[in-house]
Amino acid sequence: MRLDIVTIFPEYFGPLQLSLVGKAIQRGLVDVGVHDLRRWTHDRHRTVDDTPYGGGAGMVMKPEPWGEALDELLLDPTPDQAEPMLIVPTPSGERFTQEYAHEWAAEKRLIFACGRYEGIDARVMEHAASRMRVREVSLGDYVLNGGEVAVLAMVEAIVRLLPGVLGNPASLVEESHAPGHDHLLEYPTYTKPETWRGLGVPEVLLSGHHGEVAKWRRAQAEERTRSRRPDLLG
Ligand code: 6GU
């Protein structure tokens, strides 16, 4: 899988070299290109923003650098001529979910466009949609200063699903938000020691009764979901 990230803060993506995603890059399971949007500016100040038509607070990202950036990235062909997908993080997007992570993990190439300020001139997405699939997505109902942190989160959610990335793929099966998991949050987990600061581990987990353990975990997952995320229950 090939990932291209366009941003005015390439340094944000240094941490992609760490941990599981970094290992996936080293092993050639994923190829990541981080590109400075200012490379596609032509003025002395390398301007990427301007005032909004119609007035209002803040600045809008100018379309020209984005248009040239996407033109150039599209010149670099994707293996098997697969059509790339453009992902634009924005608090006004559709909600990014684990389902999207699974869908996008099956793509050959994703291009992430990180907006800053009050967003990117809407014609960039309109024009790009004539050449590739475009998805504007939000992580949740809160506002970040730009798309960079959202892209880090989405890249991690996607790359960990690629075949061969996780040491133990069984951990994908039981986790919260896993498909076929009845939309339940994960049950609480414990490890040694058996007593810690006066707190014990639930008896049933020490019992060796696999059926009882499974029943207890299911009940815990249901109770957690009811109290923390009732919206996930039907
Ligand atoms: Cl995807 N972008 C920004 N700027 N803020 C957000 C977000 C995305 N998701 C939640 N807040």
pLDDT tens readout for residues 180-217: 778 899 999 999 999 999 999 999 999 999 999 999 99
**pLDDT for residue 177:** 86
Expressed in angstroms and rounded, the spacing between residue 139 Cα and the centre of ligand 1 is: 6
Closest CA to 100 of 165, 21, 153, 145: 153
Q: Report the C-alpha gap between 30 and 3 in whole angstroms.
A: 7
Q: Report the C-alpha gap between 71 and 63 in whole angstroms.
A: 12
Q: Report the C-alpha gap between 45 and 114 in whole angstroms.
A: 20
φ/ψ of 119, rounded to 5, equals 110, 180
**pLDDT for residue 214:** 98
Domains of the chain with CATH codes? 2-160 (3.40.1280.10), 169-232 (1.10.1270.20)
Complex prediction ipTM: 0.95
Expressed in angstroms and rounded, the spacing between residue 92 Cα and the centre of ligand 1 is: 8
Task: Give the pTM.
Answer: 0.95
Closest CA to 114 of 141, 142, 150, 143: 150
Expressed in angstroms and rounded, the spacing between residue 193 Cα and the centre of ligand 1 is: 40
Where on the phi/psi map is residue 119: left (φ > 0), alpha (ψ -120 to 50), or beta?
A: left
Q: List all residues whose CB is within 6 A of at least one atom of ligand 1.
A: 89-91, 137-140, 142-144, 146-147, 150
**Interval 27-62: pLDDT, tens:** 999 999 999 999 999 999 999 999 999 999 999 999
